[in-house]
Amino acid sequence: RIAADQMAVADALIRKGDLATDHRARYTILLADVDSIRIEARAHFARTNLGLYTPADAGTLGIFELAGEVLD
């Protein structure tokens, strides 16, 4: 019985560790998406301020789509 209790405690700790790792991975992805959005936004504003307006390319649209999925 003692061994079973110890195994249950070990399993609970492993699950908590996996959950923390999963949250860290999701947070890292979210930060990467936010950084990509900032970079693209700065480039867009720079082009607009210089009068070089160009429609959003496939990369820009993809970044905003990914960010939307993460935020959902």
For residue 54, what pLDDT is reported?
A: 67
**pLDDT tens track for 33-43:** 777 777 877 87
Residue bearing tokens 């720079």 = 46
For residue 21, CA distances in Å to 16, 17, 25, 26, 43 come to 9, 6, 6, 9, 33
For residue 37, CA distances in Å to 24, 30, 31, 60, 68 come to 20, 11, 10, 8, 11
The whole-angstrom separation of Cα 4 and Cα 6 is 5
| pLDDT-wise least confident of 28-32, 45-49, 67-71 | 67-71
pLDDT at 19 over 70: no
User: Taking residues 52-64, what's their average pLDDT?
Assistant: 71
Average pLDDT, the chain: 71
pLDDT band per the 50, 70, 90 thresholds, residue 15: low
